[in-house]
Amino acid sequence: MKLRLISIFLTFFSVNVIAAEVAPAPTYGAVKLRTTIWPPYQMMLQGELSGESTETLRCIFRDINESFSVQVMPWQRAIQDMKHSVADGIFTSGPSPELDAVATMSAPFALEKWYWYHSKGIDLSNLKNLRIGAVRSSNQATWLDTEGIPVTELVNEGMQLIRLVQAGRIDTFIADARYFEELIAGASPDTGLEAELERTFVRYMPLGVYFADQFLQQHPEFLGRFNQQISDCAGETVALSTTERENLLSILAEKIRPIIDNAQLITALSSFNQQQKMLAVDVINALDMQWRHEVGADEQPLISEVISRPSSAYLRSVKELSNGLITEAILVGSAGLNVAQSDVSTDYYQADESSWKALQDQPSSDYHIDGIRYDESSRKFQVKVSWTITGTEGERRGVLILGMDVEEALRRSR
């Protein structure tokens, strides 16, 4: 895989690591997987395969009552093993056109943060004029090729890229932030490598397991069972770093405050809160159930009524004018029901959602930012930002929930 530290021994010999799981006997026999060393996701500790991805896989296979075996080897050999049905899958990988032709990627269970690492003063506005380095067969090299960005120098491991920038032989390279930290941590402390390089955010990259299509054809229920356990074993969200939160907050202060103060939203809340506060709990539950049934149905009386409100039209215009920054907007009344929204949501009642509860648990804070979620349908990384809307006497009138494209937000915060 990409930017990986592979010893000479591992280049020629594979290391077999068996992860036997609990009874009853597995349905498929041991699922045969391949991987390579890529800290912190896969690494050898005291002769055993460990790391975040390995532990997540152990958890998933345990939960679905199956077993798996892993062999560690160079990435290209791992791909060939899967192509020739010697292996059932390979991990941990980002989306790859080459692999998409012969395999299907699981839902993501890890997330990389990619940055350009470069010397001070390098202009990244025209990448095709720069000398770019990459590790052979890496996710970065694959992505650069897919994007039509030429790579001028291919190397065998990540530290070579740092040295090439130092020597002035290349201008920049892409690396996962955590992997770069691993490289720096393993270098001599007096080299000053980290201080010499600046970084610029590129994108997030979802990582998962590619399972061979032939294996999935033989076991059509497997991938669904596997994906269903990912959130329990790896978590549904990835936390924002301190810097990312600060950058996001600076954008929120500039972009979101004017939205919240708009008179249309205040008027809509004042009107519909009066109606919603009279609703009994069983009526609220019935309305939420009705909404869920209407999603995707031909007849949508409740959804159509909410979506057609002037305040919903305003939120749609806010989304459009954000130029991709805002992915959805929902105005929620004091009873937890949607008052206005830019798009059709999956449910009508929001008071049972984590963002609403977080604001209830933190009365001193007027906003809450969720972790990063990967949306498979749009292939975008999003965060939900919930902002309390208060009245003149400080009473809570409602909450504005915004879905934000976190990659777009970080690009704008440069």
The CATH class that applies to domain 8-111+206-228 reads alpha beta
Q: Which H or E element spans position 408?
A: helix 406-412
Confidence class for position 321, pLDDT limits 50, 70, 90 = confident
Predicted pLDDT at 20: 39
Q: Which of 328, 329, 390 is nearest to 359 (CA)?
A: 390
Instruction: Note the pLDDT of residue 6.
Output: 35
Q: Are 401 and 333 in contact (CB under 8 A)?
A: no
State the pLDDT at residue 16.
42
Q: Does this chain's domain 8-111+206-228 share its CATH topology with 112-205?
A: yes
Q: What pLDDT does 324 receive? A: 87
pLDDT of residue 262: 77
CATH of 112-205, picked from 3.40.50.300, 3.40.50.1820, 3.40.50.80, 3.40.190.10, is 3.40.190.10
- Which residue would you say has higher pLDDT here, 2 or 54? 54
> What pLDDT does residue 236 have?
60
The pLDDT-based confidence of 19 (bands split at 50, 70, 90) is very low
Percent of the chain with pLDDT over 70: 87
To the nearest 5 percent, what fractions of the chain are helix, strand and coil?
40, 25, 35
Q: What is the pLDDT of residue 150?
A: 94
User: Per-domain residue ranges for the chain?
Assistant: 8-111+206-228, 112-205, 242-412
Domain covering 242-412, topology: Beta-Lactamase (3.30.450)
- Check: CB of residue 349 under 8 Å from CB of residue 88: no
Taking residues 332-351, report their average pLDDT. Answer: 93
pLDDT of residue 3: 39
Share of the chain above pLDDT 90, in %: 44
Return d(Cα 207, Cα 178) in angstroms, integer. Answer: 14
